[in-house]
Amino acid sequence: MGETIEKRLSDLGVTIPAAAAPAANYVPYCRTGNLLFTAGQLPLKDGKLQASGLL
């Protein structure tokens, strides 16, 4: 088991892009204990929207 998350993702060929800059006056995420809340994040890749629709 001793692998790191980064190593496992790298072995699988998964890359996590950097978070986009906020488009308004808010923080993109907030950590509370072991929870991470996100807000206003869009599925962008190379500056283009990758998915749209209703959730």
List the domain boundaries for the chain: 18-55
Contact 42, 20 (CB under 8 A): yes
pLDDT 10s digits, 5-46: 888 988 999 888 887 776 677 777 899 999 999 887 788 888
20: nearest Cα among 37, 3, 45, 1: 45
pLDDT score recorded for residue 22: 65
User: Is 1 a residue whose pLDDT tops 70?
Assistant: no
Q: Which of the four pLDDT bands, split at 50, 70 and 90, describes residue 47?
A: confident
Q: Where are the alpha helices (DSSP H) in 1-55?
A: 5-12
Query: What CA–CA distance (Å, rounded) separates 51 from 45?
Result: 10
The verdict on pTM exceeding 0.85 is no
